[in-house]
Chains A and B, each alone.
Chain A
């Protein structure tokens, strides 16, 4: 293993806010220092309106303007800051600021790769710091798989602009023609090809030079890329495999207490009465605090808080959702959508159903909040730092300048962490008890109070010509419903439902007309979509024989119209209906690839995520209550159930287009199509269980 850039963090002059201590009980005498410098460098609090959801970051330049704060709370001494995305210090360390939330999709690494590419930095001298909610970076919502595509040019310009000034500084130092100098590995190379000046040695000179306008600097010809397009492990991986504190769950503050919340099992229900005597009698329980979402138990340890919560005797006013039933909602939706068979002669139609689905991030919701003395500081694993800040401001009743939001690396996101409900809870509790609070959700809390993927019914129809081909690509008509159940963004959102409907339906058309599913798709697709279908089919050996009881299915979906993914699933169905995915071949065209290893990983992960939905887990509601509570009844795909997965990337110089969600939508229809191929049974819902096939 090469030297990790993280090592540079230990050299920082840590302030109180960078340096959190975990006190050890029992006088053992062990103190663990936790540096947040690597993930929580923060802007000075600022006044002024938050950007709108469509706002773009402020221009690259003018980092010293009064209204554009330095994003570093403790800037490097003499570090040169050519723009808001990076600094270079005299030792040559390049600090790149990640401003989108990391949840495993590799965005921190990707941002750094793009900047480092144009800067010609030495990767070993790159370190990444995370900025929290900071107006300078505009809307920081991490969703829609757009973090790279929406910032690609800007980040390239940021790196290129800094490089341009460093070259000017070297040319000035050597008194040579700037155009004759080159850069490589964090050094400027003299026209003689021999002399070199390290970037660190140039920052003093560079700091005195004018900054070019980002649009005036030349970015690289992609043919010259040395970093973009080469596989890199995630920057944070060394911390991940050693268990070093990285996530909000791991962070502590001196004097911190622990909290959990008892919430009404029925959505929107409220506590009507509480007997907390038994809870307060639990050793270690400090307080019981009513908050907006329920009753919080505050304790010296997580276990005491959990025991205290279990001892609460709460009378709930269950409210208007007390009779809520997901089955009733499903039947309502089926009535709302046009009835299948109503399309008329020469047409086909069908209806496909998706249940409520949970995110089930491995790190449940958690927030560390410290509300004291007119100041609120929050560590929130949020995909929407500005929304988290608004929640913190509202719950603490403090102004924007008094509230700071840090965004640690998250133990999974998948869209759940757009909603900062957990931030409001922690801030409310901290404000009430006057101490820092780490508030955690249990798995049961997480599965029963999620913002679920909405239940839906999707109608789709097609007019067929004499040969059985549709006149155009059929368009799904979704009927989602969220009656009483809180819903939200779930990895690939409505694309998931649309893909399941259209791609299942195409195979139904193919079966009715005696057409090959791949040939049918090729007749309807052009360009990049057609290419990934051809690639996936070829790599999967489409048309080759499978063992008895196996089936093969294909699906293609251009998620958000951006990234084209085709998948071929081979699966087996046993006599009792037991279904096992055996092999998934995935072809992806996401334009220019920043980190090929991340693209492959996101496709693998998207396939596993999609298989859990297609084959295993769903959320149901009865008597107003989510019926699932933990992984025994919301089962995730396991290693033993994971098929062989092969991912093929289309070589492309198109703009990069995102990969975080794009592996998910084709999985469920490819499974349903493979089930049909294996059994002749068309299943128009998920999860597809043994009972559907026996």
Chain B
């Protein structure tokens, strides 16, 4: 075990955890931030996507020790009240079905739009290719990202 200092959603935490513990389980089990979801545990599906220093990363394969000293943002910290433009367009396009993967989809989309404000379809495909959705909400996710790029229009 080791004492690790972590910044999550602009809040500082000191945690005594195994350094190789995946960030996912620290967020969920230790910090109670359950919006970041487990689905594959192997970096294959994107349900656990969070931002580390603004980049979308798979928290299920990201050791917590590597997040130390960096800014981690989860779905709970994307906006205090669901008002982030990406969350708003997700509602406007009725993207959600079961909804379980959507925090990861939203975090991936938010990172894409921060980097590429008006992405083309192939840029969306590339950025979102490994965010899986078994419900098949992909067409709406694509529409929502385009809508966000054009200013929302909620």
Contact = CB atoms under 8 A, between A and B. Distances in A.
B34 A22 contact: yes
B14 interface: yes
B29 A303 contact: yes
Interface in B86-126: 87-88, 90-91, 94-103, 106, 124-126
Interface string A215-250: 000000000000000010110111111111111011
A160 B40 CA distance: 46
Contact of B134 (A22, A360, A442, A639): A360
A663 B90 CA distance: 23
A30 interface: yes
Interface in A150-209: none
Contact of A362 (B11, B42, B100, B142): B100
A362 B14 CA distance: 31
Contact of A597 (B18, B94, B134): B94
A28 B1 CA distance: 17
A241 B136 contact: no
Contacts of A239: 99
A240 B30 contact: no
Contacts of A31: 32
A258 B28 CA distance: 12
Given A241-B82, A604-B139, A32 B96 contact: no
Interface stretch (A60-68, A316-324, A571-579, A630-638): A630-638
Identify whether the interface residues of A are mostly helix, strand, loop, or mixed: loop
B38 A440 contact: yes
A692 to B, nearest CB: 24
Interface stretch (A407-415, A456-464, A502-510): A407-415
Given A241-B102, A303-B21, A632-B42, A605 B137 contact: yes
Contacts of A1: 82, 88, 91, 154
A363 B41 CA distance: 12
Contacts of B139: 604, 642, 644-645
Contact of A639 (B32, B90, B135, B141): B141
Contacts of A105: 97
A382 to B, nearest CB: 14
Contacts of B101: 362, 411
B79 to A, nearest CB: 8
A601 interface: yes
A301 B30 contact: yes
Contacts of B55: none
Interface in A103-154: 103-106
A411 B103 CA distance: 12
A104 B1 contact: no
Contacts of B98: 103-104, 361-363, 409-413
A46 to B, nearest CB: 30
Interface string B55-70: 0000000000000000
Contact of B99 (A23, A24, A237, A361): A237
A252 B34 CA distance: 10
A551 interface: no
Interface of B: 1, 11, 13-16, 18, 21-22, 25, 28-42, 44-45, 47, 74-76, 79, 81-82, 87-88, 90-91, 94-103, 106, 124-126, 128-142, 154
Given A233-B91, A241-B103, 19 more contacts: A26-B15, A28-B31, A31-B32, A104-B98, A238-B91, A241-B82, A242-B81, A243-B103, A301-B25, A362-B101, A363-B39, A364-B38, A410-B98, A411-B98, A413-B98, A443-B41, A606-B136, A639-B129, A644-B139
Interface of A: 1, 22-26, 28, 30-32, 103-106, 231, 233-234, 236-247, 249-250, 252, 258, 283, 301-303, 306, 360-364, 409-414, 440, 442-443, 597, 601, 604-609, 630-632, 636-640, 642, 644-645
